[in-house]
C-alpha cells in the first residue's frame, strides 16, 4: 500500500504529507479502424479511466498527424472522479483511397502527464458490381424446323457488390425466346444462367440480340448476340407496346401495339399478346384486330405484358415486354391470395386487438366499421376486392389510418371440396410492400398474420409478424 500511495502521490513540503494524485489510463493504446468505404463514417470508442486517488481534470483532447482531418472526436467530460470511466466516441470518415495515420493526445492533470493513442485506418473504394458475359456471341447450332434446341449464356458478377439485372430485352429474330427468369441478383464472384430456346421456322438462319440491363454503372447495357442455323442477315419485324407504366389495383391499363412494324415494308398479319408475369392476378382482353389490348390487374405488384408480331413472309419478331407497376394508393393496403380454385378465404382487420368477428372492432364480411373520427371515411377500413370462389385475390385498405394497432387475420371460411390451401398475405404501407407471408390452412382455421403499428410519423410505423399457431375461432359471424 505504501508503494502504491507513493506512486499516486507526491510529498507536500509545507505539511510533510503525501498529496493524492489522479492517474489517466487510456484503452486501447492503438485504435485501428481497418478498411472503411470512402465517405462512410465508422465510430469506435476510447475508454478514458481515472485509476488515481483524486479527481482527474481533462484539459483537452486533440487529434494530430497527417491524417487528422479524417478523425473527429465526440464529446467528453471536463473531469472524472476516481475509478470513473468515460467512453469517448471517435469517428473515422475517409475521403480518399489511402491509409490514414493520426494521434489522439489527451491532456490532463494526471500524475503521468499527457497520454497519446495511435490512430490508423484505410479508405477503400465504394463496392461496385461489374457485369461480364464470356459468350458475347452465342451459337445455338443447327436445328431442322420445327424442332427446338436450348442454349445458354451466363451473367457473371466480377465486381465486389451485388449485381442486379432487371430485364433482358430481345431484338431480331423471333425464333429465339428466353426461358425462366429474366431478372435477378448475382452475388460478387457468382453467376446466373440465361436459357434460350431456338425454334426456327426455316433453315435460312436466324440472328437475335439480348440486351441485359443492370446496375453496373459503367456498363448498364450489355448486348449478347445469338445465332442459329449459321445466323441470318434477314430483316425481322419489330413488336412495340405503348401504355402506362404505373397504375393502381383494378385500374384498366390500355395497351397499344399498333406501332409495331416491319422494316422492309411487309404487312403484319398476326399480333400475339400474353401476360408473362402476374398472369394469375390479371385479366387480359385483346381487341378483335389484335392491334391493342387491355390489362386489368386485380392485385398490387409487377406485371409484364408481352407481344410478338408475324409478317406476311411467316417471320416472327422478337418478343417485346411492357412492364406495369401496380401500386396501391391507400396508406394501408392488405392483400390475400390462395392456391386452389373453389375455397373461400376471408381477410380480416382488427383495430387494437379486437376479438375475431367482434363489432365494431373487426372488419369482416358482416362488419364494415366506422373507426377513428366519426363518419369522416378516410380512417375507416373497407374491402377493395372480395372473392369467394377460389384463388383470390381479396384486398382491404384504409386511406389514412388513425394511430393505433391493426391486426391482420385470415380465415378459411369454407373449402367447397378443396381441402388444405396455401394462403399468402401481403401488407403494403404508404405505397411500398413491407412484407409477405404464407401459411397452410384447413377449413375453419384462422391465422393471425401480422400487426401493423401505425403512426402519423412514417419512421414510427412498422409491421410485426405474429408467431402464434393457427387456431379454430369461436365465431363464424359477427357479434357485439
**Total count of domains within the chain:** 4
Residues 161 and 180 in one domain: yes
> What pLDDT score does 56 carry?
95
pLDDT-based confidence at 18, cuts 50/70/90?
low
- For 134, 173, 215, 247, the CA distances from 137, given in Å and listed in that order, are 9, 15, 22, 38
Question: Tens digit of pLDDT for each residue in 318-339?
Answer: 999 999 999 999 999 999 999 9
Q: Is the pLDDT of residue 455 over 50?
A: yes
CATH number at residue 140: 2.60.40.10
Asked if the structure places residue 27 within a domain, the reply is yes
Residues 22 and 71 in one domain: yes
C-alpha cell at 87: 467512453
Residues 457 and 337 in one domain: yes
CB 250 within 8 A of CB 299: no
pLDDT-based confidence at 312, cuts 50/70/90?
very high
Looking at the whole model, is its pTM more than 0.75? no
Residues 84 and 158 in one domain: no
Asked if the structure places residue 426 within a domain, the reply is yes
Asked if the structure places residue 239 within a domain, the reply is no
Asked if the structure places residue 234 within a domain, the reply is no
Asked if the structure places residue 476 within a domain, the reply is no
pLDDT, mean of residues 442-451:
96
Residues 167 and 210 in one domain: yes
pLDDT-based confidence at 3, cuts 50/70/90?
very low
Residues 460 and 350 in one domain: yes
**Among the ranges given (14-23, 54-63, 116-125, 161-170), the one the predictor scored with the smallest mean pLDDT:** 14-23
> How far is the C-alpha of 191 from the C-alpha of 73, rounded, in Å?
43
Closest by CA to 422, choosing from 391, 451, 444, is: 391
Asked if the structure places residue 106 within a domain, the reply is yes
> What pLDDT score does 6 carry?
43
- Count the Cβ atoms, other than its own, within 10 Å of residue 432: 8
Residues 344 and 416 in one domain: yes
Q: Is the pLDDT of residue 389 over 70?
A: no
pLDDT-based confidence at 208, cuts 50/70/90?
very high
pLDDT, mean of residues 7-18:
54
> What pLDDT score does 2 carry?
45
> What pLDDT score does 176 carry?
95
Look at the chain and count its residues: 480
Q: Is the pLDDT of residue 7 over 70?
A: no
Q: At CB < 8 A and 24+ separation, what contacts does 379-384 make?
A: 381/349, 383/347, 384/249, 384/250, 384/330, 384/333
Q: Is the pLDDT of residue 345 over 90?
A: yes
Residues 338 and 459 in one domain: yes
**Among the ranges given (15-24, 117-126, 403-412), the one the predictor scored with the smallest mean pLDDT:** 15-24
Pairing relationship of beta strands 115-124 and 320-326 according to DSSP bridges:
unpaired
Q: Is the pLDDT of residue 74 over 60?
A: yes
> What pLDDT score does 136 carry?
87
Domain boundary, last residue among 124, 150, 174: 124
> What pLDDT score does 14 carry?
57
pLDDT-based confidence at 180, cuts 50/70/90?
confident
Domain boundary, last residue among 124, 152, 178: 124
Residue with cell 513540503: 13
Asked if the structure places residue 36 within a domain, the reply is yes
Closest by CA to 236, choosing from 178, 175, 327, is: 175
Rg of the Cα atoms in the chain: 34
Residue with cell 408475324: 310
Residues 8 and 120 in one domain: yes
pLDDT, mean of residues 265-292:
94
Asked if the structure places residue 220 within a domain, the reply is yes
Burial 148-157 (b: 16+ CB within 10 A, else e): eeebebebbb
The secondary element (H helix, E strand) that includes residue 302 is strand 301-311
Residues 80 and 111 in one domain: yes
Q: Is the pLDDT of residue 45 over 50?
A: yes
Residues 306 and 382 in one domain: no
> What pLDDT score does 19 carry?
72
Pairing relationship of beta strands 137-139 and 221-228 according to DSSP bridges:
parallel
> What pLDDT score does 53 carry?
93
Three-state DSSP state, 330: coil
The per-residue pLDDT of the chain, averaged, comes to 92
CB 214 within 8 A of CB 182: no
Residue 352's domain comprises 332-465
> What pLDDT score does 35 carry?
95
Domain boundary, last residue among 124, 142, 171: 124
The secondary element (H helix, E strand) that includes residue 7 is helix 2-7
Residues 176 and 196 in one domain: yes
Q: Is the pLDDT of residue 386 over 90?
A: no
CB 316 within 8 A of CB 310: yes
> What pLDDT score does 13 carry?
57
> What pLDDT score does 141 carry?
95
Amino acid at each position: 500500500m505504501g508503494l502504491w500511495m507513493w506512486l499516486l502521490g507526491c510529498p507536500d513540503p509545507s505539511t510533510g504529507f503525501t498529496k493524492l494524485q489522479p492517474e489517466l489510463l487510456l484503452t486501447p493504446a492503438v485504435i485501428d479502424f481497418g478498411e472503411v468505404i470512402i465517405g462512410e463514417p465508422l465510430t469506435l470508442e476510447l475508454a478514458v479511466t481515472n485509476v488515481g486517488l483524486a479527481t482527474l481534470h481533462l484539459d483537452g483532447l486533440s487529434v494530430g498527424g497527417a491524417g487528422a482531418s479524417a478523425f473527429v472526436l465526440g464529446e467528453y467530460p471536463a473531469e472524472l472522479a476516481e475509478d470513473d470511466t468515460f467512453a469517448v466516441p471517435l469517428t473515422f470518415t475517409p475521403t480518399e483511397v489511402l491509409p490514414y495515420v493520426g494521434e489522439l493526445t489527451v491532456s490532463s492533470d494526471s500524475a503521468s502527464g499527457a497520454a497519446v493513442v495511435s490512430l490508423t485506418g484505410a479508405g477503400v473504394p465504394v463496392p461496385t458490381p461489374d457485369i461480364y458475359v464470356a459468350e458475347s456471341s452465342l451459337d445455338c447450332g443447327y436445328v431442322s424446323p420445327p424442332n427446338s434446341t436450348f442454349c445458354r449464356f451466363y451473367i457473371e458478377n466480377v465486381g465486389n457488390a451485388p449485381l442486379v439485372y432487371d430485364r433482358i430485352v430481345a431484338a431480331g429474330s423471333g425464333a429465339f425466346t428466353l426461358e425462366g427468369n429474366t431478372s435477378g441478383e448475382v452475388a460478387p464472384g457468382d453467376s446466373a444462367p440465361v436459357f434460350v430456346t431456338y425454334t426456327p421456322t426455316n433453315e435460312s438462319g436466324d440472328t437475335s440480340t439480348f440486351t441485359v440491363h443492370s446496375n453496373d454503372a459503367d456498363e448498364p447495357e450489355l448486348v449478347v448476340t445469338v445465332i442459329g442455323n449459321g445466323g441470318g442477315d434477314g430483316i425481322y419485324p419489330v413488336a412495340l407496346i405503348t401504355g402506362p407504366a404505373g397504375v393502381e389495383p383494378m385500374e384498366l391499363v390500355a395497351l397499344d401495339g399498333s406501332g409495331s412494324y416491319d422494316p422492309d415494308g411487309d404487312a403484319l398479319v398476326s399480333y400475339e399478346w400474353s401476360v408473362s408475369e402476374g398472369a394469375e392476378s390479371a385479366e387480359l382482353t385483346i381487341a378483335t384486330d389484335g392491334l391493342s389490348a387491355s390489362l386489368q390487374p386485380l392485385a398490387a405488384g409487377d406485371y409484364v405484358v408481352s407481344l410478338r408480331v408475324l409478317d406476311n413472309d411467316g417471320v416472327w419478331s422478337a418478343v417485346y415486354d411492357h412492364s406495369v407497376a401496380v401500386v396501391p394508393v391507400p396508406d394501408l393496403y392488405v392483400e390475400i391470395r390462395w392456391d386452389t380454385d373453389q375455397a373461400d378465404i376471408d381477410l380480416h382487420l382488427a383495430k387494437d386487438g379486437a376479438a375475431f368477428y367482434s363489432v365494431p372492432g373487426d372488419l369482416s364480411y358482416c362488419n364494415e366499421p366506422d373507426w377513428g373520427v366519426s363518419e369522416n371515411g378516410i380512417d375507416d377500413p373497407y374491402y377493395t376486392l372480395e372473392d369467394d370462389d377460389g384463388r383470390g385475390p381479396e384486398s382491404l385498405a384504409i386511406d389514412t389510418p388513425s394511430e393505433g394497432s391493426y391486426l391482420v387475420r385470415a380465415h378459411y371460411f369454407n373449402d367447397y371440396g378443396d381441402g388444405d390451401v396455401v394462403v399468402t398475405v401481403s401488407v403494403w404501407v404508404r405505397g411500398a410492400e413491407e412484407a409477405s407471408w404464407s401459411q397452410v390452412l384447413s377449413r375453419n382455421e384462422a391465422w393471425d398474420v401480422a400487426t401493423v403499428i401505425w403512426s402519423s410519423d412514417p419512421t414510427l410505423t412498422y409491421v410485426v409478424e405474429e408467431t402464434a399457431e393457427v387456431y379454430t375461432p369461436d365465431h363464424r359471424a359477427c357479434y357485439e
